[in-house]
Amino acid sequence: MSIVLSIDAGTTGVRAFAVDESGATRGWSYREFTQHFPRPGWVEHDADEIWQAVQTTVAELVATLDEPIAAIGITDQRETIVAWSRSTGRPLHRAIVWQDRRTSARCDELAAAGHLDLVRSTTGLVLDPYFSGSKIEWLRVHGGVEFGPDTAVGTIDSWILWNLTGGTATAGAVHATDPSNASRTMLFDIGDGQWSSELCALFGVPMTALPEVRASAGRFGVTSSDFVGGAGVPVSGIAGDQQSALFGQACFEVGMTKNTYGTGSFVLMNVGDVVPTPAEGLLTTVAWTLPSSVLGDGTGGTVTHYALEGSIFATGAAIQWLRDGLGIISTAAEVGPLAESTPDSSGVFMVPAFAGLGSPYWDPYARGTIVGLTRGSGRAELARATVESMAYQTRDVIDAMTAASGTPVRELRVDGGASVMGLLLRLVADQLDVPVVRPRLQETTALGAAYLAGLAEGVWSTVSDVAARWAVDERVEPSEDRTRVEAAYDMWQRAVERSRGWAVTGEP
């Protein structure tokens, strides 16, 4: 039976994941890597450490498998950017992570200079330090990275692909990415499907340093002889983590929507194969580009599907803060029982704007805020307020998405680590007033990349094969009184207003 390997390089760690052609999980391995915070608002990763985590997890997983790997898919923490030397394969600076806000002031300058419309109309994004373009510019202007012929730059998927396929130019390493990742750089024209020369010039990014953009499902290259998983294995699928989760959730029809609860949360709605009009507070992104054959379309060529996206910067990160910053829990798993130990938050609201607010506010100067504290507030109320904030932020995005698209969300498919929390699912269902559905296999991000690779190599024939393998684990219906729900949401919006605009200036 064919085995497909997925490499899921997230924000806090790397997961190697194996699935067989029936869609059954055959094993996984996980390693965290170090988070670096050199200044307030700055977040960096060691790209070599990420690659070592890939090697370690793949080696551990492959040792448990009794069949060869038919294909490899890669999914990654999108906007995070790394520059490296083509000749040595060594990083030229730590990777700058999507959460990093060091370019806030620069983005403000560009907006004031009148570049908002260019960015919005070309990329579907907003001018925000979240995306890669201003991070790459910072590497050139402030980070000491000289962009000569030897310099390569890309998102984490391209770094992993480079190392899988040789690690240096002389070894034949492949420098490529897919449209779902390229569309998160603020340098990619999502209508034309290519790098924008105008935006590359704006940010001072040489187009020769950027990776080639190829379809999300298709052979990018094969593994080199020193790869721990074996030489000659096709690397045949790449997608950004949230688009990969949309694919793994089998959201192939227009209007189907998912939310992944990870370090942040990301709501994506499939809007079909026509670039939608930019929507206030939301992003337009490439969902995936596929050969028409895997869509059951015999016309040939490739087809690009798009998504509306709402990006929430801190959900799981807020739970990590309760653990690492406040010490009120020892493990993330403790937050659910602690939050459920009190019937409500007793008027406490927590806005986890540690790195600003994403959709629909797009306020890089918002900061984390807790309001409503009394002498009776304790660990349970803080835990409850944190979990409730995840539901409120989901509603912020879904309300904006429904208004923009004119398409109501009929159900929300959820995944990610926090989706195991029954309290969270109930809170989200009540806020949205629609069913919330968790799939039987919750590692949908890793699964999506595996499906893309397997489709490219013929393990599966069409997306209908993928949809047939999706199954429900739990379906939660809304149950709370609407008056109580709306009153709580009104209070949440008041709390959000108090968090906004707190950090007055940004740093380079």
Q: Is 313 exposed, middle or buried (0-12, 13-18, 19+ CB in 10 A)?
A: buried
Residue 299 banded pLDDT, cuts 50, 70, 90 = confident
Average pLDDT over residues 272-297: 89
Number of domains in the chain: 1
Please name the helix (run of DSSP H) or strand (run of DSSP E) that holds residue 313, with its range, or none. Answer: none
% of the chain residues with pLDDT over 90: 87
Residue 15: inside a domain, yes or no?
A: yes
Q: What are the helix (H) ranges across 342-459?
A: 379-405, 422-432, 444-456
- Nearest CA to 13 out of 263, 239, 235 is that of 263
User: How confident is the model at residue 355, as a pLDDT?
Assistant: 86
Integer Rg of the chain from CA: 22
% of the chain residues with pLDDT over 70: 99
Integer Cα distance of 422 and 424 in angstroms: 5
Integer Cα distance of 327 and 323 in angstroms: 5
pLDDT for 368-380, tens place per residue?
999 999 999 999 9
Contact by Cβ (8 Å): 288, 237: no
DSSP string, 221-267: EE--TT-TT-TT-EEEEEEEHHHHHHHHTT--STT-EEEEESSSEEE
Inform me whether the pLDDT recorded for 411 exceeds 70: yes
Residue 122: inside a domain, yes or no?
A: yes
Residue 400: inside a domain, yes or no?
A: no
What is the pairing mode between strands 472-476 and 44-45?
unpaired
Inform me whether the pLDDT recorded for 75 exceeds 50: yes
Average pLDDT over residues 154-162: 98
Integer Cα distance of 475 and 491 in angstroms: 28
User: How confident is the model at residue 280, as a pLDDT?
Assistant: 84
Range of the domain at 106: 3-244
pLDDT for 16-71, tens place per residue?
999 999 989 999 999 999 999 999 989 999 999 999 999 999 999 999 998 999 99
Residue 391: inside a domain, yes or no?
A: no
As a dihedral over the C-alpha atoms of residue 39, residue 45, residue 48, residue 54, rounded to 10 degrees, the angle is 160
Enter the tokens of residue 167.
Answer: 């690690």
- Nearest CA to 75 out of 248, 266, 224 is that of 248
- Nearest CA to 6 out of 229, 326, 155, 277 is that of 229
Integer Cα distance of 224 and 166 in angstroms: 5
CATH number at residue 115: 3.30.420.40
Inform me whether the pLDDT recorded for 187 exceeds 50: yes
User: How confident is the model at residue 297, as a pLDDT?
Assistant: 74
Other beta carbons within 10 angstroms of residue 320's beta carbon come to: 17
User: How confident is the model at residue 476, as a pLDDT?
Assistant: 97
Average pLDDT, the chain: 94
Inform me whether the pLDDT recorded for 406 exceeds 50: yes
Inform me whether the pLDDT recorded for 505 exceeds 70: no
Residue 382: inside a domain, yes or no?
A: no
Residue 344: inside a domain, yes or no?
A: no
SS3 23: coil
Inform me whether the pLDDT recorded for 282 exceeds 80: yes
Enter the tokens of residue 462.
Answer: 């069409």
Average pLDDT over residues 186-209: 97
- Whether residue 352 has a cis bond before it, omega within 30° of 0: no
Q: Burial code of 159-173, b = ≥16 C-beta within 10 A, e = fewer?
A: bbbbbbbbbbbeeeb
Query: What DSSP designation does 91 have?
Result: B
Query: What DSSP designation does 293 have?
Result: G
Inform me whether the pLDDT recorded for 276 exceeds 90: no
Average pLDDT over residues 483-503: 95
Inform me whether the pLDDT recorded for 327 exceeds 50: yes
CA 20 to chain centre: 24
SS3 47: helix
Integer Cα distance of 95 and 92 in angstroms: 9
User: How confident is the model at residue 109, as a pLDDT?
Assistant: 96
Integer Cα distance of 259 and 242 in angstroms: 8
Q: Which residues pair with 366 in a beta bridge?
A: none
Residue 17: inside a domain, yes or no?
A: yes
SS3 294: helix
Residue 508 banded pLDDT, cuts 50, 70, 90 = very low
Stated length of the chain = 508
Contact by Cβ (8 Å): 77, 241: yes
Inform me whether the pLDDT recorded for 111 exceeds 50: yes
Integer Cα distance of 139 and 295 in angstroms: 40
Residue 182: inside a domain, yes or no?
A: yes
Residue 264 banded pLDDT, cuts 50, 70, 90 = confident
- Nearest CA to 58 out of 48, 73, 43, 47 is that of 73
